[in-house]
Structure 1
Amino acid sequence: MKRLACLLCVSSAALTAHAEFDASRLWVNAGFYSAHFDSHKGLRNANPGIGVEYRIDDTWSATAGRFRNSNNANSNYVGAYYQPWTWAGVKLGVVAGAFNGYPNAFEGGWFPALIPTASLEGQHWGLNIALVPPLKDRLYGAVSFQLKYRFR
């Protein structure tokens, strides 16, 4: 799993390095809010953290960050958004990447994820919405909301 995380990180960096850096394409976020499907299990819905997302072009973004997960442990993530469709101003697609820090999933180590996403982006504020699928006895499913901001 560490190799996968390194590969994703290097790939994201290479894609970002390919284009000239443009600060107006950089988003920052303060974590997530997760509405869990298993609301009776006492999971943490507020998932504060810090993250970045760099919009490479109209379809691709690279992302990485750290947050306090639903099990109240620290998690890291790295990935790439692929959003080739737009409907009513909302970008639709998936984020492919890797996460760690979930005690019941792979002993807290890195694991791959493919998550359906929708993004709404204004001049300064944006919102990513992700449908996190459950993984029996390892991860709890949720609809996750990530508010983001860019300095223009």
Structure 2
Amino acid sequence: MKTSATVSKKIRIPLTLAALIASGAASNVSAAEVCNDGLWADAMIGSYHVHPKKHFDQFNPGVGVECWIAPQWALAGGYFRNSLTAPSFYGGGVWAPEFAHWGYIRLAAMGGLISGYDYGKWGIGHDHKLGPVLAPLIMAEYGRIAANIILIPPIPSSDLPFTLGFQLRVKFW
């Protein structure tokens, strides 16, 4: 059994690192200079698991940010409570090519690292709880409001099936 001090330490370390990186980046350049194609706040809402005989938590609250550094490229990171009711942190990139853009709808792919699941042999770290993710997504955008639907591949060592993740987004600039 994990103590609250152990869980708190696991959460505090990534948050401290993120704050240090953000403060260091902010001292040299402004977010508007780096995110010149848009800065979005993401709210993770929930998920749907393609597995009728097993229970997963479908309500997955969380927050994140997307920093669009070019029209087709973004850096993304954030936190949510995953379907196993564990904290998950993610970070990586988004590629949204222009050839997959039709009006308000855009197809994209995101890749990076995510924590909070048992990745088995694919995991990083002593407990294998940090692992790679590569997922297609559908982006719907209208002005400063948008939504993402993410198709998260299965994680067999955590017995997780294909999952659809749902995010709402708001653009700051």
User: TM-score, normalization: structure 1?
Assistant: 0.78
Which of 1 and 2 has greater Rg? 2
Q: Percent identity?
A: 33
Higher relative CO (Cα under 8 Å, sequence separation at least 6) belongs to: 1
Structure 1 unaligned regions, length at least 5: 1-5
Secondary structure at the aligned position of 1:20 is classed as: helix
Secondary structure at the aligned position of 1:40 is classed as: coil
Write out per-residue CA displacement over residues 79-130 of structure 1, whole angstroms, 9 at most, x where no aligned residue.
1000112134311121011101114654452111110111112222111111
Secondary structure at the aligned position of 1:95 is classed as: strand
The counterpart of 2:56, out of the listed 43, 52, 60, is: 43
Write out per-residue CA displacement over residues 14-53 of structure 1, whole angstroms, 9 at most, x where no aligned residue.
xx98x82457711112224111101432201111111101
Q: Look up the match of 1:142.
A: 163
Structure 2 unaligned regions, length at least 5: 1-16
Cα separation, partners in 2 of 1:33 and 1:108, compared to 1, 3 Å: farther
What amino acid does structure 1 have at the position aligned with 2:171? R
Contact 1:101 1:108 in 2 (8 A): no
User: TM-score, normalization: structure 2?
Assistant: 0.70
Distance 1:93 1:104 in 2: 24
Instruction: Give the number of the structure whose residues are more often strand, by fraction.
Output: 1
Distance 2:136 2:113 in 1: 14
The counterpart of 2:69, out of the listed 56, 79, 86, is: 56
Instruction: Give the number of the structure whose residues are more often helix, by fraction.
Output: 2
Structure 1 outlier segments of 4+, above 4 Å:
none
Structure 1 position 54, deviation (Å): 1.1
Cα separation, partners in 2 of 1:112 and 1:67, compared to 1, 3 Å: same
- Report the number of matched residues: 140
Q: Look up the match of 2:92.
A: 79
Cα separation, partners in 2 of 1:23 and 1:150, compared to 1, 3 Å: farther
